[in-house]
C-alpha cells in the first residue's frame, strides 16, 4: 500500500489535501507532492495543466432522450446483466456500492446500485449523461482509467475535484476483444471498501468477463449458416450538439459543437423566444400557436412570418442544420437548452450540480407569454427540489441566489435542519425576521 496510507486515515487525508493545495497554487516542485502516489500526482498535473476546475461540477453532455438512444446502441448494453450479476449480487438497491458504466469518452451511461448512496453521489453530478473524463473533472477512477488504459483506484482526497473527496472508487477499461479499442469503463464507487486489492481484482475480472462475452456473442453470430444482410450502422449521436443558453441572459446564446468545429450566435430577443419555444415543443407548433407564445393572444400569424424568414437566413449562414421546418413549425434536430439541462439534473437528484448550473431566470427581460411560462416552470422546479429533497448545504447555497434570498419558507427549512449550536443560525434568523417585517 502507498506510504501515505500507512499512517492513520485522518493523517493520510491531511497529507494528501495539503499536497493538493500546493499543486492548485502552482507549486509543482513542492516536496509535499512527492508524498502522493506517482499515478495520482501525474493525473493531478495533467488536470492542473488542462485548467480543470477543482470544484466544478461535471457537464451534462447527454439529455434524457439522447442518453436513452445512445445506450440502446452502445456495445455494453448487451452485457449489462453480466455486470450486474458480478458487481451487484443479492439486492442491488442495498449493495453498499454504486456501479457506473461509461463510454470511451468518459460519459456515464448507467448508474446502478445502493439507492441511499446514489442519492448522495447524485449531489456531486455522478449521474447518467455526465462527463467524468479526466480532462473534464480531473483525477477519478473512471476518468483516469480511460486516460491510462488500465485499472485505477482513487481514494478519497486523491480525487482532483474537492466535491468527490468523500468517495473512493475503482475502475477498469473495457476493450473490444478483437481490435483492443476501448469501448468504455466499469466503475464501483463507495467507501474505503471499494479500494481494496480484492475490489480491484473484482472490477478487472468483470471487465475481462465482459470482453469474453462480447467475443463469444460475435463468434456465434458468424457461425450461423444463413447469411444475414447487415443493416446500416445506427447513428448513435448527432454530428453536432446544439444548445441554446437562456439562463440569466437577456440575449440568448446559440452554440453548436462537433468534433471538428464550434459555432456561436448571439440571438435577438425575438429570435431567442422563437427558438426556445421550438426547443421546448419538439413535436412542433402551428403558426397560430407559435405566434401566441411569442407575441401574445390576438396577434396575427402574419406578424410571425417575416421574423421566421429573418431567423432562417441567420441560421442558413451559420447553422443550417437548425433551420426550422414549416407546417407545423418544428426543428429538424434536437435543440437542447441549459434550462432543460437544469431540470433534467433535478429529476436525477443532482441538486448541487443543478444549482451550480442555474445561472438565473430564463431570458429575464423577455415578455413573450411562452417564455414567461417556461421561466416560471424552471424556477418552480428548482424551488420544489430545494424544499423537498435538497441536503442542508445545497439548501443554504440556494438561499444565497436571488430566488432563494427572499424565500422565507426555504430559510425556515434551513433553520430547522441546522444543528442547534450552528454559528449560521443567528444570520438565518435575522434574514427571516427582515422578510417577515417587509411582508407585514
- 3-state secondary structure labels for all residues of the chain: CCHHHCCCHHHHHHHHHHHHHHHHCCCCCCHHHHHCCHHHHHHHHHHHHCCCCCCCCCCECCCHHHHHHHHHHCHHHHHHHHHHHHHCCCCHHHCCCEEEEEECCCEEEEEEECHHHHHHHHHHCCCCCEECCHHHHCCCHHHHHHHHCCCEEECHHHCCCHHHCCCEEEEEEEECCCCCCEEEEEEEEECHHHHCHHHHHHHHHHHHHHHHHHHHHHHHHHHCCCCCCCCCCCCCCCCCEEEEECECCCCCEEEEECCCCEEEEECCHHHHHHHHHHHHCCCCECHHHHHHHHHCCCCCHHHHHHHHHHHHHHHHHHCHHHCCECCCEECCCCEEEHHHHHHHHHHCCCHHHHHHHCCCCECCCCCCHHHHHHHHHHHHHHHHHHHHCCCHHHHHHHCCCHHHHCCHHHHHHHHHHCCCCCCCHHHHHHHHHHHHHHHC
- Inter-CA distances, 123 with 120, 127, 166, 293, 398, Å: 6, 9, 12, 35, 14
- Inter-CA distances, 221 with 10, 213, 227, 377, Å: 54, 12, 10, 50
pLDDT, residue 237, reads 40
Cα(262)–Cα(264) distance, integer angstroms: 7
In tens digits, the chain (440 residues) has pLDDT values of: 344 444 566 778 888 988 889 888 888 888 888 989 999 999 999 999 999 999 888 988 888 888 999 999 999 999 999 999 889 876 766 678 899 999 999 999 999 998 888 888 888 889 999 999 999 999 999 999 999 999 999 999 999 999 999 999 999 999 998 888 999 999 999 999 999 999 999 999 999 999 988 988 887 777 764 444 444 444 434 445 788 999 999 889 998 865 456 788 999 999 999 999 999 999 999 999 999 999 999 899 999 999 999 999 999 988 888 999 988 999 998 898 999 988 888 887 778 878 888 999 999 999 999 999 999 999 999 999 999 887 888 899 899 999 999 999 999 999 999 998 899 999 999 999 999 888 87
pLDDT, residue 119, reads 84
Q: Are 15 and 32 in contact (CB under 8 A)?
A: yes
* Look-up of cell digits 495543466: 49
Cα(255)–Cα(17) distance, integer angstroms: 37
The string of pLDDT tens digits covering residues 374-404 is 999 999 999 999 998 878 888 998 999 999 9
With CA atoms as reference, report the closest residue to 279 among 370, 399, 185: 370
Cα(394)–Cα(355) distance, integer angstroms: 8
pLDDT, residue 260, reads 53
Cα(41)–Cα(46) distance, integer angstroms: 9
DSSP-derived pairing of the beta strands 98-103 and 241-245: unpaired
pTM: 0.63
Q: Are 358 and 247 in contact (CB under 8 A)?
A: yes
Q: Are 63 and 280 in contact (CB under 8 A)?
A: no
pLDDT, residue 431, reads 92
Cα(109)–Cα(198) distance, integer angstroms: 25
The string of pLDDT tens digits covering residues 251-283 is 899 988 654 567 889 999 999 999 999 999 999
DSSP-derived pairing of the beta strands 335-337 and 241-245: parallel
By CB atoms closer than 10 A (0-12, 13-18, 19+), residue 372 is middle
The string of pLDDT tens digits covering residues 324-378 is 998 899 999 889 899 998 888 888 777 887 888 899 999 999 999 999 999 999 9
Cα(396)–Cα(400) distance, integer angstroms: 7
pLDDT, residue 179, reads 87
Amino acid at each position: 500500500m502507498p506510504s501515505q496510507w500507512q499512517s492513520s486515515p485522518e493523517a493520510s487525508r491531511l497529507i494528501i489535501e495539503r499536497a493538493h493545495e500546493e499543486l492548485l497554487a502552482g507549486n509543482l516542485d513542492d516536496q509535499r507532492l512527492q508524498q502522493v502516489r506517482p499515478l495520482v500526482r501525474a493525473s493531478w498535473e495533467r488536470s492542473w495543466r488542462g485548467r480543470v476546475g477543482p470544484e466544478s461540477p461535471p457537464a451534462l453532455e447527454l439529455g434524457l432522450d439522447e442518453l436513452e438512444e445512445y445506450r440502446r446502441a452502445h456495445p455494453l448494453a448487451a452485457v449489462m446483466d453480466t455486470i450486474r450479476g458480478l458487481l451487484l449480487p443479492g439486492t442491488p438497491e442495498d449493495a453498499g456500492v454504486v456501479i457506473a458504466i461509461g463510454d470511451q469518452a468518459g460519459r456515464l451511461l448507467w448508474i446502478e446500485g445502493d439507492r441511499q448512496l446514489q442519492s448522495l453521489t447524485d449531489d456531486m453530478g455522478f449521474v447518467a449523461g455526465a462527463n467524468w473524463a479526466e480532462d473534464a473533472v480531473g483525477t477519478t477512477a473512471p476518468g483516469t482509467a480511460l486516460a491510462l488504459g488500465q485499472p485505477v483506484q482513487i481514494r478519497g482526497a486523491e480525487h482532483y475535484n474537492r466535491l468527490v473527496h468523500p468517495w473512493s472508487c475503482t475502475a477498469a477499461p473495457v476493450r473490444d476483444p478483437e481490435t483492443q479499442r476501448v469501448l468504455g469503463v466499469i466503475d464501483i464507487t463507495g467507501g474505503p471498501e471499494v479500494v481494496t486489492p480484492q475490489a480491484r481484482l473484482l472490477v478487472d475480472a468483470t471487465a475481462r468477463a465482459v470482453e469474453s462475452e462480447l467475443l463469444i456473442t460475435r463468434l456465434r453470430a458468424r457461425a450461423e449458416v444463413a447469411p444475414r444482410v447487415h443493416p446500416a450502422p445506427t447513428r448513435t449521436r448527432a454530428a453536432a450538439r446544439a444548445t441554446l443558453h437562456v439562463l440569466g441572459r437577456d440575449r440568448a446564446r446559440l452554440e453548436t459543437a462537433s468534433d471538428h468545429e464550434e459555432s456561436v450566435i448571439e440571438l435577438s430577443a425575438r429570435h431567442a423566444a422563437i427558438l426556445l419555444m421550438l426547443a421546448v415543443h419538439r413535436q412542433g407548433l402551428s403558426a397560430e400557436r407559435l405566434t401566441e407564445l411569442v407575441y401574445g393572444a390576438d396577434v396575427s400569424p402574419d406578424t410571425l412570418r417575416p421574423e421566421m424568414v429573418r431567423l432562417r437566413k441567420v441560421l442558413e449562414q451559420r447553422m443550417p442544420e437548425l433551420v426550422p421546418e414549416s407546417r407545423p413549425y418544428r426543428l429538424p434536430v434536437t435543440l437542447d437548452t441549459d434550462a432543460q439541462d437544469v431540470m433534467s439534473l433535478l429529476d436525477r437528484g443532482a441538486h448541487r450540480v443543478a444549482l451550480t448550473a442555474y445561472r438565473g431566470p430564463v431570458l429575464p427581460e423577455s415578455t413573450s407569454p411562452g417564455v414567461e411560462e417556461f421561466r416560471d416552470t424552471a424556477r418552480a422546479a428548482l424551488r420544489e427540489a430545494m424544499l423537498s429533497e435538497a441536503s442542508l448545504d445545497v439548501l443554504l447555497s440556494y438561499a444565497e441566489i436571488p430566488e432563494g434570498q427572499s424565500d422565507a419558507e426555504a430559510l425556515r427549512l434551513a433553520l430547522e435542519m441546522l444543528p442547534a449550536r450552528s454559528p449560521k443560525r443567528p444570520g438565518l434568523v435575522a434574514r427571516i425576521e427582515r422578510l417577515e417585517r417587509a411582508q407585514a
